[in-house]
Structure 1
């Protein structure tokens, strides 16, 4: 079985790689459609020739890296199962679930670290990232620590529920997920985000007053605007409104503040405020809960079938055996991937609505176009990405679509 796994993995991955190369370098036209030539969305109108070419190169390489590394996590979990490492790690952890989760998480983290590093090197070489290695590694260690603690907690609860109720564990797990996700959204701005970056109050009191006036007129309960020091990591531009209740925060990246004109900043903030006004944060929470309900039910149905077929080969005794965790994580990852196009489509619709709201509130399409063009320049954003990349990765409309909408 192990030899067959290696042979077929190699054959399938090489075939997949050839398909990716053909799609990106032969079938996809990286230029803008003919109808958009000469418009404000055409990079030739606001970028130099070399700069536009550099953005196309970076975007293509970034898409290539994403597609080629997409199956890596699935291959790791499958390899752990096929080569009996699920059982080996269980023995090494003395059948203690927290230690088992730590070993498994550590293995996956180490094996996927080169993928993350390759992405960092690519961003550095095109001046999108400016993050020192020490900061990059620190952030990855923080993420690993938080993710592992969450996974240990989730695994302890999940296996307890499985042993309590073999038929209803998925439903009980979902019911516990509801308050957890809401609580996480509440604490993220004040407890999680500051672990990665420093947040200060916007020093430009006049600009803060204009932003808060815009927010207050839209019913956003904020009394200050925060600036986060993203310039030590990236040249890209962004802003956001996150959190719920009295922990809601309006946040500007310092790169955005430094690179855009005041009217362009106001448009960006009006867009983010639009998410709050249109309840996109709560809708996102409800969407996550609906998706997790379906996902947990499918997991409940699929696990016994796969364990009946492969359980003895993987040396897993049953659903309640902690050695089944790699299989659970593999299925969760695959189900999440299958749901991704739907999630991205819903997100793009929300972003369109936020753009429309910002255009209505500011009445300044020139500021919108200017902001989008600077986001392209500083973040090396692909104006017209391949359709497959758009449907899999783009939670926003493409820059071509956003600029054309503002022009209209």
Structure 2
């Protein structure tokens, strides 16, 4: 293995450790400031943030170290050789994929259990049973990793066909698949995890239908999902495109908010749809897919060339390269966080403006947002570094100020 490759790996891990330290220090300073600015702030919210930060500080570097361990220990190569000697390309791909994804799932299982079960029970964010948690975890593995393992031979067939330029046909295949999943997920995948039912008849449904008509999407379906089985927090979202568009409310949202607050949240979710955020996300995501695949192609080939066979293989079309591709995918998605999350915050701001403009109710937007954050033990704001790198939404204190002061827009998009 070349000294340059070893030096780059060591440098990356050092920089990652420095990043973790900087974020934790920035967050700790921010929480001290919040204690002074918001004396009524819940201690549970601050303690939850500290616990979550400690877990994040472990999981972030571990997400890079684990695939490297599968490479350097030769585990991936041994599984690949075992399957390749006995089976053809398709079956060996399934075996190697299930082995690698299964090992990564099992190793990450304690972290997932602590973050999504132990911590959430500790702070009263869920009443979920252990059996239910296991059910969702296993379903997630089977649907995500299991399906990927069954189909892993397809991208590797493309890589074998075009070892130096595979990223282009792979991107051309991945984009329509991603769009297809946007269609299919609300109808097929989401109901595997939770029960969806139409919003019952009544005043809320009537007012919701009027709101949808005012927004020009009266054909959208209105659903309630039984999230109270899994969480005490609240949320809503709008998904689907064309005839599959639907607005979905967690039952916890309907149980904890007043009708005008629910309508205000609905207006926000409609804003994402009206402002074309789904399609904008598809176009931006498509460009991102090609870029990330191109960078992975260049990086993977260079790493394999510089490794001198240290991993037990030299070609990217070997199934043993799966951990290498996972490492590089995690790397480029991590480095791209500031861009993708910056775009997300901009989308949220546009949806916030549409929300108050359509509902003409600033106070309902403020109270609904306040209840959402209090119920989830959210903080008024993160540190600037964390916001820049990780925040998908503007901080609540910014959003409340925005709700109260921003000029309304007309439905045509002009300021009134």
Pair 330,223 (structure 1): closer, same or farther in 2 beyond 3 Å: closer
Aligned to 1:244: 241
Aligned to 1:74: 64
Residue by residue over 1:319-345, the C-alpha shift from the partner in whole angstroms, topping out at 9 and shown as x without a partner, is: 111111110111011111111111000
Preserved CA contact (<8 Å) 2:220 2:246:
no
- Picking from 104, 107, 112, the partner of 2:108 is 112
Unmatched runs of 5 consecutive residues or more in structure 1:
none
- In structure 2, what is the Cα distance between the partners aligned to 1:275 and 1:292? 22
TM-score computed with the length of structure 2 as normaliser:
0.88
Aligned to 1:262: 259
RMSD of the TM alignment (CA)?
A: 2.4
- In structure 2, what is the Cα distance between the partners aligned to 1:355 and 1:22? 31
Q: Secondary structure at the match of 2:152?
A: helix
Q: Secondary structure at the match of 1:128?
A: coil
- Once the 2 structures are TM-superposed, how far is the Cα of residue 99 of structure 1 from its aligned partner? 0.4
Pair 255,311 (structure 1): closer, same or farther in 2 beyond 3 Å: farther
Unmatched runs of 5 consecutive residues or more in structure 2:
86-91, 406-416
Residue by residue over 1:15-52, the C-alpha shift from the partner in whole angstroms, topping out at 9 and shown as x without a partner, is: 77665554443x33444498xx5xxxx5x5xxxx4x62
Q: Establish whether residue 253 from structure 1 lines up as the match of residue 250 from structure 2.
A: yes
- Once the 2 structures are TM-superposed, how far is the Cα of residue 204 of structure 1 from its aligned partner? 4.4
Aligned to 1:395: 392
- In structure 2, what is the Cα distance between the partners aligned to 1:247 and 1:30? 46
- After TM superposition, list the pairs within 5 Å mapping 1:215-234 onto structure 2: 215-234=212-231
Pair 311,274 (structure 1): closer, same or farther in 2 beyond 3 Å: farther
Q: Secondary structure at the match of 1:313?
A: coil
- Picking from 1, 17, 30, the partner of 1:28 is 30
- Picking from 22, 27, 47, the partner of 1:57 is 47
Residue by residue over 1:289-310, the C-alpha shift from the partner in whole angstroms, topping out at 9 and shown as x without a partner, is: 1111100111111111100011
Pair 107,356 (structure 1): closer, same or farther in 2 beyond 3 Å: same
- In structure 2, what is the Cα distance between the partners aligned to 1:153 and 1:332? 19
Residue by residue over 1:173-224, the C-alpha shift from the partner in whole angstroms, topping out at 9 and shown as x without a partner, is: 1111121111100011110100110011112422112112111221225353
Preserved CA contact (<8 Å) 2:212 2:220:
no
- Picking from 145, 148, 153, the partner of 2:145 is 148
Q: Establish whether residue 316 from structure 1 lines up as the match of residue 306 from structure 2.
A: no
- In structure 1, what is the Cα distance between the partners aligned to 2:20 and 2:177? 39
Q: Secondary structure at the match of 1:314?
A: coil
Aligned to 2:89: none
- Once the 2 structures are TM-superposed, how far is the Cα of residue 315 of structure 1 from its aligned partner? 0.4
Preserved CA contact (<8 Å) 1:90 1:322:
yes
- In structure 2, what is the Cα distance between the partners aligned to 1:59 and 1:97? 41
For these two proteins, the number of residue pairs brought into alignment is 391
- In structure 1, what is the Cα distance between the partners aligned to 2:20 and 2:392? 25
- In structure 2, what is the Cα distance between the partners aligned to 1:253 and 1:199? 9
Residue by residue over 1:78-136, the C-alpha shift from the partner in whole angstroms, topping out at 9 and shown as x without a partner, is: 11111111112213434511100000000000011111111121111001122111111
- After TM superposition, list the pairs within 5 Å mapping 1:8-407 onto structure 2: 12=14, 21-25=24-28, 27-32=29-34, 49=40, 52-94=42-84, 96-119=92-115, 120-407=117-404
Residue by residue over 1:230-258, the C-alpha shift from the partner in whole angstroms, topping out at 9 and shown as x without a partner, is: 11111111000001122211101111101
- In structure 1, what is the Cα distance between the partners aligned to 2:94 and 2:308? 22
